[in-house]
Homo-oligomer: A and B are copies of this chain.
Amino acid sequence: MRIVVDAMGSDNHPEPDVVGAVDAAREFGDTLILTGDEKQINAILSQQDTTGLAIQVRHASQAIGMTDKPSDVLKGKPDSSVHVGLKLVRDGEADAFVSMGNTGAILGVAMLRQLGLGRIRGVTRPSIGVIFPIKEKPFLIDNGTNAECKPEYLLQFGIMGSLYVERMRGIKNPRVGLISNGEEEGKGTALIREAMPLLANSGLNYIGSVEPKEFMFGGVDVAVCDGFTGNILMKTAEAIAKYMSNELREQIQSGPITAVGGLLAKPAFARVRKQLDPEEVGGAPLLGVNGPVIIGHGRSSAYAVKQAVGQARQMVENKVVEAITTGLQ
C-alpha cells in the first residue's frame, strides 16, 4: 500500500509529519510518500533510522498555511504539498492521503477533480466525520465541514456514515440517528423535521432522533447532524473533559491525603486520559471524494500522524470509497 503524508501539514511541520510517516512505514510495512519541501523533509529523514523502510519524497514547492483562505490556494498554490499529494492519489500513484493541515483548503482541493480527487457521483457535499474517542466509538457526521445544511445533505451524511462504520468496524446495518434536542414529536428544527422522513425511507437502520446522552452511551453507531451542531457537540465535549481533568487535579492536589490518593490512582487517570485522547484516533475521514483522505489536528504529534496513517490504510483495505460510490448510485 502506498500512502501519502503531507509533510507541510502540522503546526510544527515537517517534524511530526515526517517522523509519524517513518513510524507508520515501520509499523505497517507500507510505502510512505512524503510531499513538501524536499530539503526540509530530508533534513528530518536524515536523523531517522529508515533502514529497510519504503519512504519516498515528492518535492512540492509550495505549502498551505493554516490561515490561508481555501479560495486563495485552490489555484493560487498549484504546487502545494496538498495539491501534489492529492494528485498522486487521483492518478493512481498512491492509495490514500493524510494531512494535519488546513481543513478548508484540503477539502477545497480534494473536491475538485481538476486539482484533486473530485466528488463521488451523487454526493452534494463531502463531509468530515469523526470517530468519537469514547468507549463505544460512535461516528459523528458532519463534524464541522458544512455549517449550514439542507435535509438532503443530512441524508447523504447518513448513507456515507453508515457505509463507513459498516466497512471500518464490521457492524452490519449500523444504527443511524439524528442528533436533536429531544425525541418527542415536534422537537428539533425545521431542518431536522425535514430530514427525518428522508432518513426513515432511506433503507438505513434509522432509529430516529438521539440526544447527546444516547450518543455518548452506546445508543447509536452513526450520529448525523449539520456541521454547526457537530462542531458545538465535539468542542463542548473536549472543553468539559479538559475542565473536569483540571478541576480534579486541582482538588486532588489541594490536600496531602487526596494528593497521595491521586498518586496511587494515577494509572487509572492515565487510562481514562488515553481513552479520550483524540491523538489515539489520529484524524478524521473526509467522505464523499474519490479517494481515502484523513485530516488531523494541526497540533498533532508524530504519534497522531502514525495513527492517522493507520486509519487511512484501513479505509483502503476496507474499500470505503468504493462502498460509498456504489451506495450512492
Chain B residues positioned under 8 Å from A267 (CB to CB) = 251, 255, 257-258
Interface of A, secondary structure class, is: helix
Whether A172 is near chain B, meaning CB under 8 Å from some CB there, is no
Question: Quick check: A243 and B217 within 8 Å, CB to CB?
Answer: yes
* Residues 243 to 291 of chain A near chain B (Cβ within 8 Å): 243-244, 247-248, 251-252, 254-255, 257-258, 260-269, 271-272, 275-276
- Beta-carbon contacts of A228-253 to B below 8 Å, as 1s and 0s? 11011101111111111001100110
Chain B residues positioned under 8 Å from A181 (CB to CB) = 144, 147, 227-228, 231-232, 235
Whether A201 is near chain B, meaning CB under 8 Å from some CB there, is no
CA distance A135 to B144 in the complex (A): 28
Closest Cβ of chain B to A143, distance in Å, is: 10
Whether A190 is near chain B, meaning CB under 8 Å from some CB there, is yes
Chain B residues positioned under 8 Å from A187 (CB to CB) = 147
Question: Quick check: B212 and A232 within 8 Å, CB to CB?
Answer: yes
Whether A198 is near chain B, meaning CB under 8 Å from some CB there, is no
Question: Quick check: B262 and A258 within 8 Å, CB to CB?
Answer: no
Q: Which of B134, B227, B252 contacts A265 (CB 8 A)?
A: B252
Given contacts A257-B264, A264-B257, A271-B251, A243 and B179 within 8 Å (CB-CB): no
Question: Quick check: B236 and A233 within 8 Å, CB to CB?
Answer: yes
Whether A188 is near chain B, meaning CB under 8 Å from some CB there, is yes
Whether A148 is near chain B, meaning CB under 8 Å from some CB there, is yes
Question: Quick check: B135 and A247 within 8 Å, CB to CB?
Answer: yes
Chain B residues positioned under 8 Å from A262 (CB to CB) = 261, 264-265, 268
Closest Cβ of chain B to A321, distance in Å, is: 27
- Beta-carbon contacts of A102-134 to B below 8 Å, as 1s and 0s? 000000000000000000000000000000001
Whether A211 is near chain B, meaning CB under 8 Å from some CB there, is yes
Whether A39 is near chain B, meaning CB under 8 Å from some CB there, is no
Contact surface of A with B, Cβ cutoff 8 Å: 134-135, 144, 147-148, 179, 181-182, 187-190, 211-213, 215-217, 227-229, 231-233, 235-244, 247-248, 251-252, 254-255, 257-258, 260-269, 271-272, 275-276
Which 6 A-B residue pairs are closest in the complex by CB-CB distance? A261-B264, A261-B265, A251-B268, A181-B231, A216-B239, A212-B236
